[in-house]
Structure 1
Amino acid sequence: MTRSLLASLLPLTGALALSAMPAFAAEPPGKSALPAPAAAPAADPQPKIDNAQIALLPADSVTHHTFSAPGGPSIGYTATAGTLILRDDKGAPSAKMFYVSYVADGQGARKRPISFFFNGGPGAGSAFLHLGAAGPVVLNFPTANPTDGANATLAPNPDSWLRFTDMVFIDAVGTGYSRPVDPDKAAKEFYGVKQDGSAFAQAIRLWIERNHRESSNKYLVGESYGGIRSIRTAYALETEQNILLSGIVMVSPAIEMGLLDNNVDPIGNAITLPSLAAGEMERRHTLTPQALDDAYHYAFGPYVSILAGAPPTGDVAKQFYGKIADMTGVPERVVTAQRGMLDVQSHDVRSRDGRLYSLYDDTLSIADPYPSGEDNADSPEPVLAGFGLAYGNAFTGYVGDTLGFHTELKYDLLNLGVNGAWDYKADGEPMARNMPELRKLLALNPSLHVFIAHGMFDLACPFAGTRWLVEHIPVGRDRIRLKLYPGGHMLYTRPDSRAALSHDVAALYAATP
């Protein structure tokens, strides 16, 4: 079963609801760690669009703030929370895409890098990267219990990428505050691999032209399905909008959807095994780079060779299944029942000793509501259906109280309707392939650099799949860097990994001519 990240959790999560974490409220001037909102300027005239949801989107809000960079000078910056109007081939409005931009004041914008951020899903808004990794404000989870989203708090982000780049966070159509003009046509116009890339490319061009940033070095930053989105957007920017990039940053990316299937494909199982092993090594305090490398080579050597043949029997089977159980911490009876091809979505694999482990971080767990065993549909996902939902409510409060963008429209952090309608086909193929586009981008643009960050314990988008793909790229491999961090899919929820990611990306940008 090939799956997207959200689709993979449909049997696990059921209906998702935003957490009840109280919205962040701005303190009186002079007392707040975060800047208070400034009055919004008059909006530019915009065409009237006959759509009740779009009518709830207010005029753009522009506010001014100061970021205190640790160990460096304070940075004054201008934040804009607003929308960009997409148009169809006839010039008629087709969607409004919501964005938040942060532009440093008085730093020579034409020479300062500009980064465009988006999340994935497909169906996820950009609040995850915004409040989790790079924005000037970060959502912190309790150190004693990182799965407690109800007690997460907003604070200034000491690792904000504003130190080295201006930033624009964009919600895909149908997510966040972005809305199509005609919902009945949205699936055909926007909910597909190629259409989505074209929509983002158009929005990015509009923002660049509106802000006169044609001379800036330009980067895309995508998380999860945002890896595919970044490749497709980069290709659309080049071929449809005449815009070349300096770099692409992918965080926990999906690149080839077919490689995320570990139910029947030996390669898919080999891709998952090193992340399962990493989680167990972390629990045993035996995790080292060499041990992780050994797990990778075992997965793509003896392990995949055995899976590709007839199922082992007798002492060979017992030895093989015992080794997999020892590597992963999954009970040997479960490994044997699944013939060594572990279904990481199954309750049997995720439930151990009364704890239910996350597909998105194999070191994070909650109390298992069904420790004696249950249908997978009643086995909740601790990250995406749990503490991760805190980003939605926190962002609503932040964008209203601090950035002055007030609307009664719900912020769609995770839109399962968009996810379910997604078209993965392209160029006549039943499943779009994205490595051919990345290969062409690297070949046609000798200045393009790609930085890929993966959490070691991520089972949704395992790092081994990306490593395997990169190892097989014939041109431009020297311009791709893969870096692993302690953490899961949302590796930035760990403060040390968030800081390391920011440092590494800053180094990438500094090395760009």
Structure 2
Amino acid sequence: MFRTRFAALLLASACLAPCLAPGLASPGLAADKPAEAPKADTAKAAPAENGQAGLLPADSVTKHRYTAGGRTIAYTAHAGTLTLRDEDGKPGAKIFYVAYTQDGAGPGRPVSFFFNGGPGAGTAYLNLGAAGPRALQFPAGMPTDGAAARLVDNPDSWLPATDMVFIDAVGTGYSRPIDPHKAADAYYGVTKDGSAFAKAIELWVGQNGRQASPHYLVGESYGGIRSIQVAWQLQQQQNLIVNGIVMISPAIQMQFLDAANNPLASAMTLPTFIAAHLDAAHQLTPAALDDAYRYAFGPYLTTLANAPPQGAEAQAFYAEIARRTGLPEEVVAKQRGALDPMSHDVRSRGERLYGLYDFTQSIADPYPEGIDNNDSPDPTLFGFGRAYGNAFAGYAANELGFRTELTYDLLSMEVNGAWRWGDHGSPMTDQVALLRKLLAIDPGLRVFVANGYFDMACPFGTTRWTRDHIPVGAERIGLHLYPGGHMLYTRPESRAALWHDVDGFYAASAAQLK
């Protein structure tokens, strides 16, 4: 995975990769409880299991109050597990989730299901980063210092607009397969993963009597692919049609995330390079970004897709790219204009190493003399981003009452390395075909996409190009750009702007339902 830009999807956030699991759509996958299953505010005992799944404790239910913007909301937090069963009705996996539900609200209140990406990332990023009632705050003067991060009340929680259920994929977070040796075949693939999530959502909806609620999906990074798959599997396998999808720094078409071998992918990435340079020069404006996008898909792509220029023509081409991006012309020429965001040559300048997940964010370069690209650390992936794991473990134990000996698996390389990207030899990583179907057959479906200007893992150019090439329903896809990178919500101002826009999205959806 780390040999290509697919490594960028390990986070998500994230900034950001399902063949059906045996029996996941069958009647044998009914909930653990009969029709009178407990509601969200009722704890249930965890079934005895062997291995790591057996270390998961009983569900924990706690009461809280959230205050922001002069409004106080009493809510219940339910940290617990759902059981996925195989075609014989035997437990296959314990799915960990945290649900936040407003006390006293009726069944018509929206409920949103959150997941991160990777594949292999837990939902601590979205929970403690973007939407949950608590947020991990990094030092304003040193945003890459994860050791100094502190958990604070989140003034930008999405709780005023929707109930929220954060679900960890099998093998991530606290979710565990019953038999680890069978997990890859059962869950670690594009459609299998989507099917598992769809069943987990159906179980939660059924156990909590939320069939009449408006339902939304929220996915980050690879969660973009996952959100489309889950929406489709919910509709086809569980008979549940979602009202909306929110994608944060999404991956949708994997072939556009390898700029080294695809001129179109290079054109999609170039506006992000330019945006980072404009930001450093305090010249970042919507008009300047639009000019960058048009240059990328005009003169730049035309030149890159043809035979490489020679002589004076090549020198002029590379000089123009260097001028627009601020990168050294010799680096641009060395890569023949097709800039590789993972290259140490591209990321290292002035003894500072810039991040793949945020190209304006840098650390001291541990190898200013140069190093193999695979050994050049990313400050988010290998540095401050790891703070979310410890913070969530403490939050779950000390505030939600969910105590376990398990380590919260924030980023599972085992899951990531075992992931199956295709089905019967056909690539399953381009989800636009499913998105087209969903937009066509569900005329009320609305999609909200958030991108950071400086995200090299899942550049905003890929989203804009994808939206522009969808023939039906493109007007129901809203593209929102914010200062920041893959995890744009780590910047408090961008997190606040995201919440403002998301709140409007939910309000518009509610008005549409009336």
State the partner residue of 1:53: 52
AA at the equivalent of 1:392: G
Match of 2:430 in 1: 433
Residues 208-252 of structure 1 deviation map (CA, whole Å, 9 limit, x = unaligned): 001100010000000000000000000000000000011000000
- Asked if 1 retains the 8 angstrom alpha-carbon contact of 2:276 and 2:359, the reply is yes
Cα contact 2:117–2:222 (8 A) shared by 1? yes
SS at match of 1:111: coil
Match for residue 83 of structure 2?
85
1: CA distance, partners of 2:176 / 2:197: 13
**SS of 1:230's equivalent?**
helix
Q: C-alpha distance in 2, partners of 1:42/1:70?
A: 30
Contact 2:252 2:429 in 1 (8 A): no
Match of 2:44 in 1: 44
Given that residues 7 and 420 in structure 1 are in contact (C-alpha distance below 8 angstroms), is that contact kept between their aligned partners in structure 2? no
What is aligned with 1:292? 289
Matched, 1:385 2:385: no
- Mapped to 2, the partners of 1:76 and 1:5 lie a distance apart of 40
Say whether residues 1:331 and 2:333 are aligned partners.
no
Q: Any conservation in 1 of the 2:351–2:365 contact (CA below 8 Å)?
A: yes
Q: Does 1:157 align with 2:154?
A: yes
Find the residue that maps to 1:510 and give its secondary structure. Answer: helix
- Alpha-carbon distance between aligned partners in 2 of 1:163 and 1:499, rounded to the nearest angstrom: 14
Describe how 1:18-33 pairs up with structure 2 within 5 A: none
1:278 to 262, 275, 280: 275
In the alignment, which residue of structure 1 is the partner of 2:258?
261
Sequence identity (%): 62
**Superposition pairs of residues 84-123 of structure 1, within 5 angstroms:** 84-108=82-106, 110-123=107-120
Offset, 1:7: 6.9
- Runs (4+) of structure 1 moved beyond 4 Å? 6-9, 40-43
TM-score by length of 1: 0.92
Aligned to 1:458: 455
User: Do the aligned partners of 1:6 and 1:419 also contact (CA within 8 Å) in 2?
Assistant: no
**What is the deviation of 1:52?**
1.7
Alignment of 1:59-208 (within 5 A): 59-71=58-70, 73-108=71-106, 110-208=107-205
1:475 to 472, 478, 488: 472
Amino acid at match of 1:245: V
Within the candidate set 304, 311, 314, 1:314 is matched to: 311
Q: Secondary structure at the match of 2:155?
A: coil
Partners of 2:335 and 2:428 in 1: how far apart?
A: 27
The answer for the alignment partner of 1:243 in structure 2 is: 240
The code of the aligned residue for 1:358 comes to G
Q: Counterpart in 2 of 1:4? A: 6
Kindly provide the CA deviation profile for residues 165-192 of structure 1, in whole angstroms up to 9, marking residues without a partner as x: 0000000000000001111111110000
Q: Secondary structure at the match of 1:282?
A: helix
Gaps of 5+ in 2: 12-39
Rounded Cα–Cα distance in structure 1 between residues aligned with 2:43 and 2:91? 17
Q: 2:483 aligns with which of 477, 482, 486?
A: 486
Alpha-carbon spacing, 1:106–1:42, altered in 2? closer, same or farther (3 Å):
closer
CA contact (8 A) 1:95 1:181 kept: yes
Deviations 1:110-145 (A, max 9, x none): 111000000000000000000000000000100001
**2:354 corresponds to 1:357:** yes
Offset at residue 5 of structure 1 (A):
3.6
Please give the TM-score of this superposition, normalised by the length of structure 2. 0.91
Amino acid at match of 1:103: T
1:389-436, CA deviations, whole angstroms, 9 ceiling, x for partnerless residues? 000000000010000000010000000111011011136413432101
Structure 1 90/496 Cα, relative in aligned 2: closer, same or farther at 3 Å?
same
Indicate the SS of the match to 2:99.
strand
Equivalence for 2:16? none
Is residue 42–residue 61 contact of structure 2 (8 Å, CA) maintained in 1? no
* 8 Å CA contact retained: 2:190, 2:428: no
Could you tell me how far apart the structure 2 residues matched to 1:399 and 1:43 are? Answer: 15
For 1:500 and 1:422, locate their aligned partners in 2 and report how far apart those are by CA, in whole Å.
34
Residue type of the partner of 2:63?
Answer: H
Number of aligned positions between the proteins: 480
| Whole-angstrom CA distance in 1 between matches of 2:236 and 2:207 | 20
Question: Could you tell me how far 1:319 is from its partner in structure 2?
Answer: 0.9
Distance of aligned partners of 1:2 and 1:307 in 2 relative to their CA distance in 1, 3 Å threshold: same
Quote the Cα distance in structure 2 between the aligned partners of 1:295 and 1:377: 29
Once residues 488 and 124 of structure 1 are traced to their aligned partners in structure 2, the CA distance between those partners, rounded to angstroms, is: 17
* 8 A Cα contact 1:4 1:121, kept in partner: no
* RMSD of equivalent CA atoms: 1.5
Contact conserved, 1:251 with 1:453, CA < 8 A, in 2? yes
Which of 506, 511, 514 is matched with 1:509 structurally? 506
Say if 2:9 and 2:221, in contact at 8 Å, map to a contact too: no
How far apart in 1 are the matches of 2:281 and 2:261? 29
Quick check: 1:114–1:167 contact (8 Å CA) kept in 2? yes
Residues in 2 aligned to 1:42 and 1:265: alpha-carbon distance in whole angstroms: 52
Which segment is superposed worse, 371-380 or 315-324? 371-380
